[in-house]
Structure 1
Amino acid sequence: MTSSDMDIDEGVDPSEFEGGAYWFRQGAKGAFCLPTLILMMAFVGFTSLAREVGLTLTEVLLMSLFMWALPSIVVLTGAMSAGAGLISAAIAVALSAVRLMPMTVALMPVLRDGKRTKTWHMLIVSHFVAVTAWVFAMRNLPSMPRAARLPFFAGFGSTVHFVVLCSTALSYMVLPAVEGPIAAGLVLLTPIYFMFSMYQASRTSGDKAALILGLILGPVFYHFFPGADLLLTGFVGGTVAFVGWLFATRRAEL
């Protein structure tokens, strides 16, 4: 869904609505889209994996509610099934969530509306930062009035969170166990979809080069440096892409 899909109600002047309630509702309406559906399917795959390792419905819902980012949830589930200790599991989850820090840092200036935005506002909505909400926000928020961005994102993120929690509970209770490969494929839907979405939303050739280098270097680093493959792929691929883009840009200016 692109920014053109997120037009507000026809016949309404956006400048007339500076209150947060209107934009919160618009964000909630925007949550019913393809990315949310794909995320729901990914969590269906996770519930099957969780059932196999013996997690209860309460544990699944608490993990989904407080951790939210699916890769971190899968990492914790794997650590629990392997009998890892609390400290080891916490370190593994923390490392898997490191990727969310630069995403949050990049999104906060887009959401902030000067002194009107309180720190506790940002702390609350930062919980919704994951690939789904981040890509959607970075593609749609810049074209909106600044006063609308925070309530819109809050409406979008909270609605996606609620819908996914409901579908997770329903799939755990109703759906039969899904075969392992199928469940893994469902979990993989989200990163595949948003990889293509991020490529489409890339604004510079350097962004596209970073994604392509990530695809190439990821399997290589996974083979030679398992456990550090994601960090190395992001660092090396991103650095090479940025340096190459910077060199090409300066050369074109000469």
Structure 2
Amino acid sequence: MNDDALANPAGPPDHFRWFFRGMVASVSVPGLILISAFVGFAGLAREAGVSVAQAVFMTGLVWALPAKVVLIGAIMAGSSLPAAALAVALSSVRLTPMVVALMPELRSDRGRPLTLYLLSHFVAVTSWVIAMEKVRDIPREMRTSWYSGLGGSLVVANMLVVALVYAIAGSLPPILSAALLLLTPIYFLTSLWGSAREAASHYAMIFGMILGPLFHLITPGFDLMAAGSIGGGAAYLLHRSRKGQSTE
């Protein structure tokens, strides 16, 4: 037996095996809830006059469901292409902290930055929550392969769901499509609450639920920005204050 075999008795890294494990991880309750939400999106796209090819392409390219809903809303409102693109870009800014938190967990000594850039496309709430719960139990050299299987499976599965449901959306009651679409924000809230590592995240969600409806009545056009800025700032200050008291 040579020295290389002694140094690495397990043989070369089995990337395909970990890719498959990532695919298996996508078959979960969060994944099923996400699929149900895309059922509603397919109906929404059909009602907006978007073709099936455009809806499927939008699912793969934009991926994050809220950004696609914003784009459909811009299409239905007759907004210009630059305005629609700006709205989608602004709605996707919220994913930046998720990317910043997840990419260091996926990085390895042998990994290439280009791989991380490509994998960042798969970052959305569902894949992020699953990854943050399980990625630390995966060997670091295998994490990019695992996340490729997870994110890629979610994207491809929902592209197929959109294509299938689009064809039968005419037979679904509108209230059913709307109800399925609302499962997504409910899942987002419960998943983020469960995966929060500090009390500041819980404070921010509580303040957001209180301030969101209030600012929607006061400033409908800036309700999310106002609730997020004020609620997030208040949550941070409250967390720092309680943390400072606990260390005294």
TM-score exceeds 0.5 = yes
**Does 1:241 pair with 2:229?**
no
Unaligned runs of 5+ in 1: 1-14
| Kept in 1: contact 2:99–2:123 (CA 8 A) | yes
Matches within 5 A, 1:53-68: 53-68=48-63
Letter in 2 for 1:129: V
Letter in 2 for 1:215: M
| Kept in 1: contact 2:62–2:68 (CA 8 A) | yes
Q: Give 1:175 shift.
A: 4.1
**Does 1:40 pair with 2:30?**
no
RMSD: 1.7
Letter in 2 for 1:85: S
| Kept in 2: contact 1:48–1:177 (CA 8 A) | no
**Does 1:205 pair with 2:222?**
no
Structure with the larger helix share: 2
Letter in 1 for 2:135: L
Cα deviation, 1:111-133, whole Å, max 9, x if unaligned, reads 1113x121110111111011111
Of 119, 122, 125, the match for 1:128: 122
Q: Give 1:17 shift.
A: 7.5
Cα deviation, 1:29-88, whole Å, max 9, x if unaligned, reads 111111111111111111111111211111111111100111111111111111111111
Whole-Å separation in 2 of the counterparts to 1:232 and 1:119:
35
**Does 1:23 pair with 2:7?**
no
Match of 1:93 in 2: 88
Task: Work out the percentage of aligned pairs sharing the same amino acid.
Answer: 40
Match of 1:76 in 2: 71
TM-score by length of 1: 0.88
Matches within 5 A, 1:122-161: 122-161=116-155
Letter in 1 for 2:100: V
| Kept in 2: contact 1:135–1:194 (CA 8 A) | no
| Kept in 2: contact 1:24–1:155 (CA 8 A) | yes
Match of 1:218 in 2: 212
State which drifts further: 29-38 or 182-191.
Answer: 182-191
| Kept in 1: contact 2:42–2:169 (CA 8 A) | no
Match of 1:230 in 2: 224
Whole-Å separation in 2 of the counterparts to 1:31 and 1:16:
27
Whole-Å separation in 1 of the counterparts to 2:66 and 2:12:
37
Q: Select the structure of larger CA radius of gyration.
A: 2
Tell me the matched-pair count.
239
1:99 partner SS: helix
| Kept in 1: contact 2:129–2:192 (CA 8 A) | yes
Match of 2:180 in 1: 186
Whole-Å separation in 1 of the counterparts to 2:11 and 2:134:
19
Change (3 A) 1:58 1:132: same
**Does 1:111 pair with 2:106?**
yes
Change (3 A) 1:177 1:52: farther
